[in-house]
Structure 1
Amino acid sequence: MTTLERLDPADSPPSGTTDGTGATTSGDAMNRVLAQRALGWSRDQVEPALRAAVGKLPLATQRITNYHFGWEDEDGTPTRADGGKALRPALALLASQAVGGTTAAAVPAAVAVELVHNFSLLHDDVMDCDTTRRHRATAWTVFGLGPAILAGDALLSLAFDVLVSSGEPAADDGAKVLGQAVQELVEGQLADAHFEIRNDVTLSECLRMAQLKTGALLGCSTALGAMFGGGRSEQVDHLRLFGEDLGLAYQYVDDLLGIWGDPRVTGKPVHSDLRRRKKSLPVIAALTSGTAAGQELAALYQGSRDLTDAELVRAAGLIDEAGAKAQSQAQADALLTAALGELRSASGAVGAADDLERLARWATRRDR
């Protein structure tokens, strides 16, 4: 069954009707339903190949990666824990269909970008000292710092092996595109780490960091999908730009959730970014706003002792008072508009483009 058949809006409650419980379903709610279906469909297509690839790793490494992916408990017992949104592989598969390609052709690309993403998450949790991800203890807290870092390294090398050994015509060029994206992602992560010890970060620097840290891999996901789907060079370029714009919008929303997200939904501690004095996009927007709220926030951020719960609540309020919360959501919305313009310029199959648009809209209005 194709994506378009699986995601036919007729299979979901139309806008303004009931959802079967008597509650009214809005257009936004229907979009969320369809976006979740797309993500679920993508997981069904990609997970068997992803498991097969991870199954090639040494058993000691598999123990860590299987736990991180939510496939096993720490003692190796099979489970079905939250494995994440799997947005990047969905973008790769749908980008292939958007240029007239098949799902099967893009599966290696989808697996590769999901492996790279999880490499970055394993390392990111160590760098940020995060103890919770996806409502579970992070891998480094269970298996140790060194083993978690090495497991991330293994996933990175495996991603390139999956691409190169796929036998697809675009494999070699795709590996180069993925390699460039990884270099940009690492550069963005390095800048993010440096920001934590600087008090003079500018908004333009923070934007560049986010473009590298998040935009690069989302742009790579859509570009690889289009390449493996046999897209023309101009289609690949437009879909890459679609992914990059969406990636920056996604980071804006991620940063908002890092401050105001509900821990029961996000799986991360409340005010997790503020607790580390993270220089995220809304924080830098507030710090550089020239407002009294921004100045008070700067005083909190320049200290070295742990912030109290009351101070964390105050810091979140100051960011809002400085206008940075609303500004960040407005920037995410503007980037979504730009991304959808690139998607329309790709001039691919209408149904698949619709699915990509649904995912993009969901990604910029999500709660986790």
Structure 2
Amino acid sequence: MSERLLAVGEAPHTVGDMRGAVPQARGAVHDGRAAGAEADLGAGSQEAAALLDRTREAVEPELRRAVDSLPGTMRRVVAYHFGWEYADGRPASGQSGKAIRPGLVLAAARALGGSPTAAVKGAAAVELVHNFTLLHDDVIDRDSTRRHRPTAWTVFGDADAILAGDALQALALRVLADDQHPAAGRAAAWVASCVMELCEGQHVDTALEERSCDQVTLDECLGVAEAKTGALLGCACALGALYAGAGFDEVEAMDAFGREAGLAFQLIDDVIGIWGDPARTGKPVGADLLAGKKSLPVVAALTSGTAAGEELAELYPRLGPADVGKAADAIDRAGGRDWAQAQAADRMAKAVAQLSRAVPDPEAAGGLLALAEFVTRRSF
């Protein structure tokens, strides 16, 4: 196992120099409709997939040990949410997630000269926090499906899902408190600050949902995306740097890298939320539109000043199933889809610039670059 852990974050092939990585990401993101399927087969995606496989192998035992320590009711809800059990407690073989955030922790540790093995508890803590947010988000958004199965709140009820999420947040901090690594204390403080930012981002997001469409700006939505998605990816990269013994400037640069990559991730996730294939997303077609979410492509279209944007405003946010196709077409014609993909490419370019501050050697940064490109090259 130790040899496998040491390999996490090591790119079997370099992505190329950092300047070359930006146009590659830009082309794939900007034309995501055509590039997605090709990207799945590309060397970069295969590299990232292999890295994520190694991450799951390294981190899942730590996750299971932590979850097994929860009180019975909480453990049952969390084990179901992770895909390890069915609702009646029978063992299941579901995958607990893509492992992107713990993958970033381990890849960042290696990129800065540290040992991924030593950072496994930090990676597990980040994944526990991520799943705390998923449990709560599903309740708040009333999402009924996640990872191709009913969400925890639909099975166990709102209260149990919320409390299980609370338990995961506390569990993440306990995992770090029990870690003997000298960076664990700073890592716990960084995670706590991140959780506060996540909660504030969710508060603002909920407030925006209460406003009419003409009272929401793109800048506000981008701010929410940074707080809800970028902050945790930034935290993951920062924790990897902390466990590698990096200095303050390097840790800050890694946090900035993760935040920019996180914004790119959210932009593409919002596109997939409208045009994604349910067989891949595990959610019904146009789920975000039916939920009336003010996602980034939607707000870009609504604020575009175009005729298509006005058409969308007449439909949104009270859509029926028959209106989903019309709304998606209006967003596309208003430029919301192209704007989101171009913005994702721009954020990726900024992410690479931040990464080069902390890790000037492109070969050392290969695993991080592969992961960052992977999250913006997902197929629809």
TM-score normalised to structure 2 length: 0.89
Contact 1:282 1:328 (8 Å CA) reproduced = yes
Tell me the residue number matched to 1:32: 45
Contact 1:223 1:239 (8 Å CA) reproduced = yes
Contact 2:84 2:92 (8 Å CA) reproduced = yes
Question: Alignment length, in residue pairs?
Answer: 351
Contact 1:207 1:281 (8 Å CA) reproduced = yes
How is 1:297-336 mapped onto 2 (pairs within 5 angstroms)?
297-301=312-316, 303=318, 307-336=319-348
Tell me the residue number matched to 1:201: 216
Tell me the residue number matched to 1:226: 241
Compute the displacement of 1:299 (Å).
Answer: 1.4
How is 1:208-247 mapped onto 2 (pairs within 5 angstroms)?
208-247=223-262
CA distance in 2, matches of 1:338, 1:160: 31
From 289, 292, 300, the equivalent of 2:304 is 289
Matched, 1:126 2:130: no
Compute the displacement of 1:82 (Å).
Answer: 2.9
Compute the displacement of 1:26 (Å).
Answer: 7.6
Compute the displacement of 1:309 (Å).
Answer: 2.3
From 244, 256, 261, the equivalent of 2:276 is 261
Return 294-303 or 315-324, whichever deviates more.
294-303
**Structure with the greater relative contact order (CA < 8 A, sep ≥ 6): 1 or 2?**
2
Tell me the residue number matched to 1:80: 93
Tell me the residue number matched to 1:69: 82
Contact 2:125 2:175 (8 Å CA) reproduced = yes
Contact 2:8 2:106 (8 Å CA) reproduced = no
Residue type at the aligned position of 2:288: D
Tell me the residue number matched to 2:169: 156
Compute the displacement of 1:350 (Å).
Answer: 4.7
Matched, 1:347 2:359: yes
Compute the displacement of 1:362 (Å).
Answer: 0.9
Matched, 1:90 2:94: no
CA distance in 1, matches of 2:106, 2:179: 15
Tell me the residue number matched to 2:27: none
In structure 2, the CA distance between the partners of 1:313 and 1:177, relative to structure 1 (3 Å rule), is: same
Compute the displacement of 1:237 (Å).
Answer: 1.2
1:32-82: CA deviations, max 9, x gaps?
111111111111110111111111101111111001011111111111113
Tell me the residue number matched to 1:16: none
1:288-308: CA deviations, max 9, x gaps?
1011111111111154xxx22
- Mark the runs of 5 or more structure 2 residues left unpaired by the alignment: 15-37
CA distance in 2, matches of 1:345, 1:249: 19
Residue type at the aligned position of 2:371: L
CA distance in 1, matches of 2:8, 2:73: 40
Matched, 1:191 2:195: no
In structure 2, the CA distance between the partners of 1:214 and 1:166, relative to structure 1 (3 Å rule), is: same
Q: What is the alpha-carbon root mean square deviation over aligned residues? A: 1.8
Contact 2:135 2:152 (8 Å CA) reproduced = yes
1:12-31: CA deviations, max 9, x gaps?
xxxxxxxxxxxxx8896111
Matched, 1:3 2:3: no
Tell me the residue number matched to 1:47: 60
Tell me the residue number matched to 2:151: 138
CA distance in 1, matches of 2:75, 2:266: 29
In structure 2, the CA distance between the partners of 1:5 and 1:243, relative to structure 1 (3 Å rule), is: closer
User: What is the identity percentage for the equivalent residue pairs of Structure 1 and Structure 2?
Assistant: 50
* 3-state SS, counterpart of residue 87 of structure 2: coil
Contact 1:97 1:349 (8 Å CA) reproduced = no
Compute the displacement of 1:9 (Å).
Answer: 3.4
Residue type at the aligned position of 2:119: A
* 3-state SS, counterpart of residue 196 of structure 1: helix
Matched, 1:166 2:179: yes
Return 232-241 or 199-208, whichever deviates more.
232-241
How is 1:170-181 mapped onto 2 (pairs within 5 angstroms)?
170-181=183-194
Compute the displacement of 1:172 (Å).
Answer: 1.6
1:156-206: CA deviations, max 9, x gaps?
000011112101111222111111111111111112222222121111101
Tell me the residue number matched to 1:272: 287
1:270-294: CA deviations, max 9, x gaps?
1111001100111110111011111
* 3-state SS, counterpart of residue 127 of structure 2: helix
Residue type at the aligned position of 1:100: G
